[in-house]
Amino acid sequence: MGCKVFLCLPLVVLMLAGELLAQSSSSGSATSQSSKTPAKGGVTEKLTGVTSSKPRSSGLTPEREAAAMTFVRQHHAELVELLRYLKEQQPTAYEQAVMDLFRASERLAQQQEQNLERYEIDLELWKTESRIELLAARLKMAGRDSPEGESLAPQLKSLLEQRHDLRQERLLFERRKLAERAERLDRQLAAMKENREQSINRELQRFVGSDASGANEAPFKKKLQAKPLQ
C-alpha cells in the first residue's frame, strides 16, 4: 500500500543497491581491471535497464537536484554518500534517481499543504520504505548467513514492523476521514428532507419572481403567449 501511495522509491534504491553490488563484485574480480572503470553490463543495468552509455533527458535541473538532495539530507542522510558515488559512476542512473526523489519531495510538500496529519504519516512511511529497501540491498550484498547479514536481519524485521504499523495508521486515518464525510452527507440529506418544500419554493421564485400571489407571472405569460412559436 505504501508504494501505491507514492512513498516507496524502489527504483532509487535498486540503482543504489546495484552500484553497491557491482562495486562489491568488482573488488573480488581480476585486479587487472581498474577500480575506477565501471563494469560493463553491471547490476544497475540489469535491475533498471539504465545504461550510462545512453544518456536520456531526465528533466533534472540544478534547482530540482538541490531540492532533492535537501530532502534526502533531512529524511534519509544515508543515501547522500551513495548518490554521490552514483553520480560519479553512473550519471544517467543518478539523474533518474534524483528525479524520483524530487517527485517524492514535491508530492509530500503538496500533501503538507492539504492535510498535515496525513503528511506526517506519509513522510514516516517514505522514510521507513526507503530504509527497508536500502537495508534489504545490504543484506543481499552481505548474504543472509554472514555475520553482517545476521545482524541486519533483526533491523530489517524492526523496520517491517514499523511499516506495518504505519500502513495501519494510514488506513485508520482514511477510515476516519470517510466516516466524517459520511456524517456530513447524512446531515445534508436530513436537511434536504426537512426543508424540501421550502427549497423547492425558493427555487421556483427564481423563475416566477418574488411575488407569491403570482402577480408577476401575468406579464411573463403574456409575452410567451404573444410570441409565436418558431
List pLDDT tens digits, range 167-185.
999 999 999 999 999 999 9
79 is a domain residue: yes
70 is a domain residue: yes
Listing DSSP states for 153-169 in one string gives: HHHHHHHHHHHHHHHHH
Sign of torsion over alpha carbons 34, 38, 41, 43:
positive
pLDDT 10s per residue in the chain (230 long)? 444 444 444 444 555 555 555 565 565 554 444 444 444 444 333 333 444 434 446 789 999 999 999 999 999 999 898 888 888 888 888 898 899 999 999 999 999 999 999 999 999 999 999 999 889 888 888 888 898 889 999 999 999 999 999 999 999 999 999 999 999 999 999 999 999 999 999 999 999 975 544 555 555 555 555 555 55
C-alpha 68/C-alpha 169 separation (Å) is 27
Q: Which three cell numbers stand for residue 74?
A: 533531512
Q: Which three cell numbers stand for residue 218?
A: 401575468
Which pLDDT score, from 0 to 100, does residue 90 have? 84
What pTM value is reported for the model? 0.66
230 is a domain residue: no
Contact status, residue 87 vs residue 48, Cβ threshold 8 Å? no
- Burial-class residue 79 by CB neighbours within 10 Å (0-12, 13-18, 19+): buried
Which pLDDT score, from 0 to 100, does residue 69 have? 95
206 is a domain residue: no
81 is a domain residue: yes
Which pLDDT score, from 0 to 100, does residue 230 have? 53
218 is a domain residue: no
Domain that holds residue 19: 2-28+39-175
C-alpha 17/C-alpha 64 separation (Å) is 23
Cα–Cα nearest to 168, from 2, 3, 8: 2
Number of separate domains in the chain: 1
Which pLDDT score, from 0 to 100, does residue 40 have? 41
6 is a domain residue: yes
CA distances from 116 to 65, 110, 134, 165, 223 (A): 25, 10, 27, 19, 58
Contact status, residue 127 vs residue 75, Cβ threshold 8 Å? yes
C-alpha 87/C-alpha 80 separation (Å) is 11
Cα–Cα nearest to 102, from 89, 85, 83, 118: 83
165 is a domain residue: yes
**Cα–Cα–Cα angle for 82, 8, 127, rounded to 5 degrees:** 65
Which pLDDT score, from 0 to 100, does residue 92 have? 86
Which pLDDT score, from 0 to 100, does residue 75 have? 95
Which pLDDT score, from 0 to 100, does residue 211 have? 54
Query: Would you tell me how many other CB atoms lie within 10 Å of the CB of residue 217?
Result: 13
